[in-house]
Structure 1
Amino acid sequence: MDIKDKLSAAIEQAAKDAIADGVFPEGELPKIVLEVPPQKEFGDFATNFAMQSARVFRKNPRQIAEELAKRIEGDWLDHTQIAGPGFLNFYLKGNVLYDSFQKILAAGESFGQLPAKDAPKIQVEYVSANPTGPLHVGHGRGAAAGSALVNLLRAAGYPVESEYYINDAGNQMNNLARSVNARYLELLGREVEFPEDGYHGQDIVDTAQRIIDKEGDKYLNMEEDERLKIFQDLAYVEKLAALKEDLAAFQVTFDKWFSERTLHPEAVKAAVKILQDNGNIYEQDGALWLKSTAYGDDKDRVVIRDNGVPTYLAADIAYHHNKYERGFDRLINIWGADHHGYVCRVKAAMEALGHDPKKLTVLLLQMVALYRGGELVKMSKRTGQSVTLNELMEEVGTDAARYFFLMRSLDSQLDFDLDLAKKKSNDNPVYYIQYAHARICSIFRQAEETKLVLGEKPELSLLTDSSEIDLIKKIEEYPEEVEKAAADYAPQRIARYSYDLAALFHSFYNKCRIMGVEPQLAEARLALVTVTAHVIRHSLGILGVSAPEHM
């Protein structure tokens, strides 16, 4: 039990004792929230519990605080102070901080990795872009967010499986084939009308050229339907391979790649039959409609068109039915904000199938706006189309791209400053954090040269400077920060934490020497920077950002 757990338990027990003494009436206690005060004079921890419980105990918050303060005990507590309208500020005994930090030091590389939770597996599905062209920066934000969320949940002890849903069936694949076919014919001197819904990117031209380079005009006089089928397969394999390559370069991998093709026709038919059998699908004008309004949607939705062709919704129903059948306890999807209206209909379909829609969480990803020189960047210089993820990585690097994508919550628009992301200065947050780690590695090299060795039990009580205490306290917050960030699906909290930790380290570094001071103090400070380095690596690891040893 850490100090915050002990303090929470002591507050709860004090409230129960006051109830038993007849000072407070019986009632349900509010959640105890402990915060680290922004100013040191307000103690090590503070709570607004007295104000939160005023309605329950029907007393003035200061009176509640006074009664609680009388009853809060612990050999770790120096004293309690009541402030303002009823805040309780707690001042710990000096040895508590050092005892706690000694345990962190002993934990070594395991610190920050929370114990495995005995819970069913969570599935996180993200990116899932059509395999019809390169990933753009919007996909990049989803890739960074999804992979960081998977890392975060795993760090918090949850069993997690990541998945990419390959949209490799339907019109987009037909459009891909027609687009490659048109460029193929053009390159061979034929006049063609480019498909209205075709893909105009340079990558389509490149695919067609590669076919010609390898096979020449082998397919030119073939029946078009046969040629389209060949081109669809060739382009699909190439686009999916390129997509996987870009994601791997962006530190993104998946436990499972799920092909939509495997759902057609059997799985789609099976899901539709269940909905027909339980009365949640009806026929109208030759089409099959889902009764989604019965489950909160604003209108019923077509599942099978009047020509017998399934809609996109039909495949999504079969896919999500498959997810539930695989036994996941929680399903987390990361979708673009333009899919906002789609959430309700998928949840409605799951409820109609007899699944718990509350198990499905959809996180909506807002847009990314790129800026260079203060001007909005709309198009790629290379292709005239949307800026690709690959181009972004080439310009600013993988680490900066990932960190900048993760600085803000998914549901807020992101203004991405390309110039700032490339800066090698403390103005660039990812550089600032990585520089802290590189500085520590430089300290390790100096320690090795001077034969400064970290023992099992350094004299941590020598760490009395305010910059040292602040750094220790921040490190001690880390496991709770991981837990909270995971519970809120908020990797941006880890991005912020890593920046704040780096700031406290730089402050300590500028104030406190390690080499050339009394040996016991040098060892204690070496212990502090050792743990700091680990936490920076661990937090950056969650974000998928490297921790360089030299900069």
Structure 2
Amino acid sequence: MRRRAVITTKDAPTPGYPCEVTPEELSTAISACLRDALDAGQISVDVPANVRVERPKSREHGDWATNIALQLGKKAGMNPRDFAQILATRLAEIDGVKKVEIAGPGFLNITLEAGAAGELAKTIVETGAAYGTNEALAGHEINMEFVSANPTGPLHIGHTRWAALGDSIARVLKASGASVTSEYYINDAGNQMNIFALSVYNRLHGLPVPEGGYPGGYIQDLADVVAAAHPDIRTLTQDAALPIVRKAAYTAQMADIKETLNDFGVEFDVFFSEQELHSGGAVEDAVARLREQGHIDDTDGAVWLRTTDFGDDKDRVLIRANGEPTYFAADAAYYLSKKDRGFTEKIYLLGADHHGYVNRLKAIAACAGDDKEKNIEVLIGQLISVNGARLSKRAGNIIELRDLINWLGADALRYSLGRYPADSPMTIDPEQLKKNTNDNPVFYVQYAHARSRAASRNAVEKGVERTDFDATLLTHETENDLLAALGQFPSIVAKSATHREPHRIARHIELLAGAYHSWYAACRVTPIGEGAIEPIHRTRLWLNDATTQVLANGLDLLGVSAPEKM
């Protein structure tokens, strides 16, 4: 008797059609078969919750393959081929599985019934934007801090990578069931803000840039904003004017930063002020709490945190001998704030010049009583460069993110940044990004989406509608490849979230776009000429629209638009 319930918890399939078999459901089915064999006394081994299934290199070896028998056979004290035979017998009883063959030392090659994979097309269309979401990280409460540029100037190329990747990581975490708060830490305390205010003040009065000050042309823009808001500012003494200048210039600069982020498609749930940590007493409270944990030393009049207890290369000063708190004290207070707000996991996305922060931030977590391997994660992004990029006319010595967006477009820039791991240095080629050719990855994927939308509109105009659906008709080789790519999408999303690697999604939707273009060239959604509309045309329209949906879902996770036309 063939088994149906093991493979899926979804509603029963449409009568007359094979049940849908996705890679995730096949993985679940294999785990269920292993547990059944364990209960029957056929094997004795710990059964994994998920079993990896992959597309075999040759289609002659079936639709999916797994090496689970090789992994578990010896642990069970069995020959892997004997272990594989037990599993193959049970898998063959699964509804939607045509045959299971054992290859080599114990590989399992699985061939599905005609149409078993095809049911996925209808499922995707009916699931819509939710297809690809999963519960891999359900229950995780995550605070993710990224960008956090000083509010003393415009966002520049150094902030670009984490702006794109940080936002995409947040999206894939949410798609995988996590509760995520995206946070921007505003470094609005300390002497840098005083120098910033003095730079704007001097520009108001036509004075030279102060020592260590900010020389960019944007300082003049800020001075003009301050003067417009406070017409009498030039009549005040420096002591009276500086607090006003500081507040007004800071407000204007943060507004510019938020506007640039918005143009880049990046949203933050929280903008957290460092100054509020100091003014609200959080820094002093943090020192007291860390002292209670037993990791504070008072030496030479200063207050030290023994971070070397937890792997840091040296202990860190929290309060200087003159009573002034250090930046590190604010870092400690900020970590405790996140903990107090209920975030069990804190992710910090830092720039390439912050490698030294990893151990000290993890040491803060440990000193606060947390698990530095579970409660905090620090990711370092490597530098990027853009061929031919010019220094900002406003800032003079930097390449502004705003200029990059205007030059290359937010979509091209975000997609390019999204398709590489954060820990690899990269150079962006603007000439490639501006090409409307297949060697431009963002064009290749967006064009596939636009092409699928055009195919759908053309089908509807010719009377092809998504009415009847017969998954058994989707047997062309290109349809098998396209369905396989569609079926892998949820697991790609889950892996992207687990590993904090949205580039997996970019690479996968490029593969999907390639599979779609091949299918489009080989299979018609509409009849030729005045030919009759047949069930195959309606069924293929479901597959076409399923591809549209997955491409759109993938692009959205990268913060990139899915155009209707190109």
- Normalising by structure 1, report the TM-score: 0.91
| Counterpart-to-counterpart distance in 1, 2:344 and 2:228 | 49
Partner in structure 1 of residue 387 of structure 2: 371
| Counterpart-to-counterpart distance in 2, 1:351 and 1:211 | 44
| Cα deviation 1:473-507 (Å, max 9, x = unaligned) | 21111122212211211111111111111111111
Deviation at 1:226, TM superposition (A): 2.4
2:314 to 289, 299, 313: 299
My pick for the range that moved more, 252-261 or 98-107, is 98-107
| Counterpart-to-counterpart distance in 2, 1:408 and 1:117 | 23
Partner in structure 2 of residue 515 of structure 1: 526
| Counterpart-to-counterpart distance in 2, 1:211 and 1:411 | 40
| Counterpart-to-counterpart distance in 1, 2:364 and 2:74 | 42
| Counterpart-to-counterpart distance in 1, 2:32 and 2:415 | 42
2:416 touches 2:428 (CA, 8 Å); kept in 1? yes
Partner in structure 1 of residue 16 of structure 2: none
2:73 touches 2:79 (CA, 8 Å); kept in 1? yes
Change (3 A) 1:11 1:436: closer
2:364 match: secondary structure: helix
2:500 match: secondary structure: coil
Partner in structure 2 of residue 38 of structure 1: 57
My pick for the range that moved more, 461-470 or 275-284, is 275-284
State percent identity of aligned pairs.
42
Partner in structure 2 of residue 385 of structure 1: 397
1:491 to 472, 496, 502: 502
1:29 touches 1:56 (CA, 8 Å); kept in 2? no
Change (3 A) 1:490 1:345: same
| Cα deviation 1:234-253 (Å, max 9, x = unaligned) | 21011100000000001111
Q: Does 1:479 align with 2:479?
A: no
Deviation at 1:103, TM superposition (A): 2.9
Q: Does 1:432 align with 2:444?
A: yes
Instruction: Please give the residue correspondences for 1:414-493 in structure 2 after superposition, counting only pairs within 5 Å.
Output: 414-455=426-467, 457-493=468-504
2:276 to 250, 262, 265: 262
| Counterpart-to-counterpart distance in 2, 1:149 and 1:20 | 40
Deviation at 1:530, TM superposition (A): 0.8
Change (3 A) 1:270 1:365: same
Partner in structure 2 of residue 159 of structure 1: 179
My pick for the range that moved more, 529-538 or 356-365, is 356-365
2:329 to 314, 318, 335: 314
Change (3 A) 1:449 1:199: same
Partner in structure 1 of residue 170 of structure 2: 150
2:386 match: secondary structure: strand
1:365 touches 1:411 (CA, 8 Å); kept in 2? yes
1:230 to 244, 247, 253: 244
Deviation at 1:212, TM superposition (A): 4.9
Partner in structure 2 of residue 91 of structure 1: 111
Deviation at 1:381, TM superposition (A): 6.3
Deviation at 1:20, TM superposition (A): 7.5
| Counterpart-to-counterpart distance in 1, 2:393 and 2:436 | 24
Deviation at 1:145, TM superposition (A): 0.9
| Counterpart-to-counterpart distance in 1, 2:33 and 2:471 | 32
Deviation at 1:446, TM superposition (A): 1.6
Partner in structure 2 of residue 501 of structure 1: 512
Partner in structure 1 of residue 18 of structure 2: none
| Cα deviation 1:103-129 (Å, max 9, x = unaligned) | 333334432233697515322211111
| Counterpart-to-counterpart distance in 2, 1:319 and 1:148 | 24
| Counterpart-to-counterpart distance in 2, 1:48 and 1:300 | 48
Change (3 A) 1:146 1:440: same
Deviation at 1:453, TM superposition (A): 1.6
| Counterpart-to-counterpart distance in 1, 2:85 and 2:150 | 62
Partner in structure 2 of residue 348 of structure 1: 363
Deviation at 1:51, TM superposition (A): 2.3
| Cα deviation 1:198-241 (Å, max 9, x = unaligned) | 2222211322244456667x444533232222221121011100
- Normalising by structure 2, report the TM-score: 0.89
2:323 match: secondary structure: coil
The amino acid that maps onto 1:424 is N
1:101 touches 1:476 (CA, 8 Å); kept in 2? no
| Counterpart-to-counterpart distance in 1, 2:473 and 2:35 | 39
| Counterpart-to-counterpart distance in 1, 2:28 and 2:176 | 22
| Counterpart-to-counterpart distance in 1, 2:135 and 2:71 | 31
The amino acid that maps onto 1:336 is G
Partner in structure 2 of residue 394 of structure 1: 406
| Counterpart-to-counterpart distance in 2, 1:389 and 1:5 | 40
Change (3 A) 1:363 1:184: same
Change (3 A) 1:17 1:276: closer
1:526 match: secondary structure: helix
| Cα deviation 1:149-183 (Å, max 9, x = unaligned) | 11112222222221111111112211211222233
| Counterpart-to-counterpart distance in 2, 1:533 and 1:50 | 37
- TM-align CA RMSD: 2.4
The amino acid that maps onto 1:368 is I
Partner in structure 2 of residue 173 of structure 1: 193
Q: Does 1:52 align with 2:71?
A: yes
| Counterpart-to-counterpart distance in 1, 2:36 and 2:411 | 52
2:122 to 73, 79, 102: 102
1:46 match: secondary structure: strand
2:509 touches 2:551 (CA, 8 Å); kept in 1? yes
| Counterpart-to-counterpart distance in 1, 2:550 and 2:23 | 19
2:391 touches 2:400 (CA, 8 Å); kept in 1? no
| Cα deviation 1:89-111 (Å, max 9, x = unaligned) | 11111132233433333334432
Deviation at 1:19, TM superposition (A): 6.5
| Counterpart-to-counterpart distance in 1, 2:99 and 2:335 | 55
Change (3 A) 1:115 1:341: closer
1:276 match: secondary structure: helix
| Counterpart-to-counterpart distance in 2, 1:222 and 1:23 | 88
Q: Which has the higher contact order (CA 8 A, sep 6+)?
A: 2
2:115 touches 2:473 (CA, 8 Å); kept in 1? no
Partner in structure 1 of residue 540 of structure 2: 525
1:321 match: secondary structure: helix
1:168 touches 1:260 (CA, 8 Å); kept in 2? yes
My pick for the range that moved more, 510-519 or 111-120, is 111-120
1:370 touches 1:378 (CA, 8 Å); kept in 2? no
My pick for the range that moved more, 86-95 or 255-264, is 86-95
| Cα deviation 1:357-415 (Å, max 9, x = unaligned) | 3211111111112124xxxx574466542211101101110100110110111111122
The amino acid that maps onto 1:550 is K
The amino acid that maps onto 2:563 is P
Change (3 A) 1:10 1:227: closer
My pick for the range that moved more, 45-54 or 537-546, is 45-54
My pick for the range that moved more, 263-272 or 200-209, is 200-209
| Counterpart-to-counterpart distance in 2, 1:219 and 1:5 | 65
1:468 touches 1:508 (CA, 8 Å); kept in 2? yes
1:135 match: secondary structure: coil
